[in-house]
Amino acid sequence: MKKILAVILFFQASFVAAEQQVICTGPVERLAYHQPDGLYLAIGSTGLFKACSSEAQFKRTGPESCKLLASLATTARATGKDIRVYIDNAPTANCADITDWHAADIRFFELMP
């Protein structure tokens, strides 16, 4: 029993340690909304990741915050400005490794000057 518990704890620790914080900056390459799932973005070299849901709490982002993210992303896309996004659960510390359909835990979102 102790061996099984040790193996389970090892795999849980490995999974948690695999998540990285990454800061991605670049143009909004893709902007999509999947009904009823939520807002999806591709920034620079990232895949199309889920940023939030306008209907329910998603990770740390609530519905009202999601609407603000959508507005900022739309503005960036329309004006050609870059955005900067802090993602706390990226698979690696490289933005290019964020694949399509990744469920991103966004902590900070900025429209660049």
Distance of alpha carbon 78 from alpha carbon 113, whole angstroms: 14
Please report whether residue 15 resides in a domain.
Answer: no
Please report whether residue 3 resides in a domain.
Answer: no
pLDDT at position 37: 86
Please report whether residue 95 resides in a domain.
Answer: yes
Q: Which pLDDT tens digits describe the chain residue by residue (113 residues)?
A: 555 544 444 444 444 456 899 999 999 999 999 988 899 999 999 999 999 999 999 999 999 999 999 999 999 999 999 999 999 999 999 999 999 999 999 999 999 99
pLDDT at position 36: 85
pLDDT at position 18: 65
Cβ neighbours of residue 5 under 8 Å, at least 6 residues apart? none
Please report whether residue 35 resides in a domain.
Answer: yes
- DSSP conformational letter for 65: H
pTM: 0.80
pLDDT at position 3: 57
Distance of CA 42 to the CA centre of its chain: 9
Do 43 and 100 touch, CB atoms closer than 8 A? no
The count of domains in the chain is 1
Q: Token pair of 75, please? A: 């503005």
